Chain A
């Protein structure tokens, strides 16, 4: 039962498997915007992590608790003051970056609290998104399921944008996985990849 859940999750969320592959057994993990806690549960069961989530929505808090993962109800953009510097091995922002208002401050907070940061986000440079815009419409897809007037996404970006951001903000990218569905997009990733996952640390 448990195994099936994990297998199903891995299939539905290819970024989960990519993230899990980077996390060693027993690491301390903070998941910002953890939703219903499925990533933390995935990491707990596959990596035995000591994990905490931060989430604001009531329904998600209840879902996390039901999932047996630790969750702190708070607005992650009001700061991570609760968390000591260097208190986590990894701070994860999974499919949340594009919905944050104060993105720069948050990335810096991630790297204050964590030794490394991991983000995953929908690649706005994915060819299907480009085609939508080319034909004059904002993209609506599996990765970007919202209408323009009803979306939490305020800071969409491409792989190039994110990498330029890192270079300009003393953030050192350690590793990158680009996926389209469960497939890895190795060739022309900024065009052919729909989801990007980055692992990074404080740069010099």
Chain B
């Protein structure tokens, strides 16, 4: 991996919030912490800030690498850095670990002050709106009145959209990538199976597994394996693995025979070794609940009537988890509300994962859009 145009060494920061956060569910979190990273320089009138919202398994480490762990490169380092589409020479870029996450921000594995124990199942079920509210407090802390842009893919794209609805005055541009205005029944069904895998793991202990010094690894692993299938396209899987056999022959057993089985198990194991099962549950619920039209009688046109931002919507041809049709559902209400909106459909073979991978047209679209955003910042 080339680090020549990397932002270089970065470090995480921590912000403490002591004003209670009221969730959409009416639950209250009296205190919480958010970990975040920033890249680039905030300009004098604080108009060049970009917020990067992460998806299900993401976090605040978006670009660059750590001095003590140079191999730990940010998850969107190909997109963000000096001279990259999200250009840190022009923008002040913020990555934040969402509340409920497991990378340092307050989440289910954090200690609940009242009990001195990890929150576990006591951590409130969180929604995209709640995240946006918590992110706005971080913006307040950094003195950012209005973001030049809020950018996100997948679940991150939902947050970017929600920003334009919760805080219409606080975001000039929304870049919503590989996302949807709400999940379909099929998509919720995938999440339900993933959650069932975790919930039925004997080591889950109703979410309080920390007390028992165990981890529901099996459930988490299965959840990730299922998720992973849906992030890839049929073509990519066929291309990458086909019907390749690990031993070169069929063993007539239930062991790992096909390469795809080996790959999925590897991905599942890797994920289960660091990700928190309760966070996984929360993230999938936030996905399921996201539906800005819900409060407007199912009318997305009405929901977006409050938006004031300009929008860039991007989808990928082989993404079947968040298909191009779902992006059109975002574009339509924006057109009807006469918002400035552009839509690009990227021809890519990589399914939902495409939004994380370099692609010439995708990057050209991002770059030309953000160059114009930058030219509005003094």
Contact with B along A124-166 (1 / 0, CB 8 A): 0000000000000000000000000000000000000000000
Shortest CB distance B314–A (Å)? 9
Chain A residues, CB < 8 A from B336: 84, 87
Is B200 in the interface zone, CB < 8 Å from A? Answer: no
Contact assessment for B365 and A61 in the assembled complex, using a CB-CB cutoff below 8 Å? yes
8 Å CB contact of A68 from B345, B347, B372: B372
* Interface-lining segment among B60-68, B71-79, B227-235, B327-335: B327-335
Is A20 in the interface zone, CB < 8 Å from B? Answer: no
Closest to B312 in A: A65
Is B306 in the interface zone, CB < 8 Å from A? Answer: no
Contact with A along B359-378 (1 / 0, CB 8 A): 00100110011011000000
Contact assessment for B364 and A62 in the assembled complex, using a CB-CB cutoff below 8 Å? yes
Q: How many residues of B contact A (CB 8 A)?
A: 21
Chain B residues, CB < 8 A from A28: 338
Chain A residues, CB < 8 A from B369: 65
Contact with B along A24-65 (1 / 0, CB 8 A): 000010000000000000000000001010000010011011
Chain A residues, CB < 8 A from B312: 65
Is A66 in the interface zone, CB < 8 Å from B? Answer: yes
Is A103 in the interface zone, CB < 8 Å from B? Answer: no
Chain A residues, CB < 8 A from B342: 61, 64-65, 70-72
Shortest CB distance A102–B (Å)? 20
Closest to A66 in B: B368
Which residues in window 328-359 of B have CB below 8 A to A? 328, 331-332, 335-336, 338, 340-345, 347
Chain B residues, CB < 8 A from A100: none
CA distance A70 to B339 in the complex (A): 9
Shortest CB distance B326–A (Å)? 13
Shortest CB distance A135–B (Å)? 43
8 Å CB contact of A72 from B331, B338, B372: B331
CA distance A58 to B364 in the complex (A): 9
Contact assessment for B335 and A82 in the assembled complex, using a CB-CB cutoff below 8 Å? yes
Which residues in window 258-286 of B have CB below 8 A to A? none
Closest to A69 in B: B342
Closest to A37 in B: B342
8 Å CB contact of A65 from B335, B338, B345, B368: B368
Shortest CB distance A103–B (Å)? 24
Is A22 in the interface zone, CB < 8 Å from B? Answer: no
Shortest CB distance A47–B (Å)? 16
Shortest CB distance B329–A (Å)? 10
CA distance A131 to B221 in the complex (A): 74
Given contacts A66-B371, A71-B342, contact A52 B364 (CB under 8 A): no
Chain B residues, CB < 8 A from A83: 335
CA distance A84 to B371 in the complex (A): 31
Shortest CB distance B113–A (Å)? 48
Contact with B along A171-189 (1 / 0, CB 8 A): 0000000000000000000
CA distance A71 to B312 in the complex (A): 10
The residue in B328, B335, B336 that gathers the most chain A C-beta atoms within 10 A of its C-beta is: B335
Is A73 in the interface zone, CB < 8 Å from B? Answer: yes
Chain A residues, CB < 8 A from B340: 70
Chain B residues, CB < 8 A from A65: 312, 342, 344, 365, 368-369, 372
Which residues in window 84-118 of A have CB below 8 A to B? 84, 87
CA distance A70 to B369 in the complex (A): 10
Contact with A along B293-332 (1 / 0, CB 8 A): 0000000000000000000100000000000000010011
CA distance A52 to B361 in the complex (A): 20
Contact assessment for B368 and A52 in the assembled complex, using a CB-CB cutoff below 8 Å? no
CA distance A169 to B275 in the complex (A): 63
Contact assessment for B345 and A73 in the assembled complex, using a CB-CB cutoff below 8 Å? yes
Contact assessment for A71 and B372 in the assembled complex, using a CB-CB cutoff below 8 Å? no
CA distance A58 to B328 in the complex (A): 17
Contact assessment for A73 and B343 in the assembled complex, using a CB-CB cutoff below 8 Å? yes
Shortest CB distance B46–A (Å)? 24
User: 6 closest A-B pairs (Cβ-Cβ)?
Assistant: A66-B368, A65-B368, A62-B364, A58-B361, A72-B343, A73-B345
Q: List 12 A-B contacts (CB under 8 A).
A: A58-B347, A61-B342, A61-B344, A61-B361, A61-B365, A62-B365, A62-B368, A65-B312, A70-B340, A72-B341, A72-B342, A74-B345
Q: Other than A52-B335, A62-B361, A72-B342, give 11 A-B pairs with Cβ distance below 8 A.
A: A58-B347, A58-B361, A62-B364, A65-B344, A65-B365, A65-B372, A70-B341, A72-B343, A74-B343, A82-B332, A87-B336
Residues of A participating in the B interface, judged by any CB pair closer than 8 Å: 28, 50, 52, 58, 61-62, 64-66, 68, 70-74, 82-84, 87
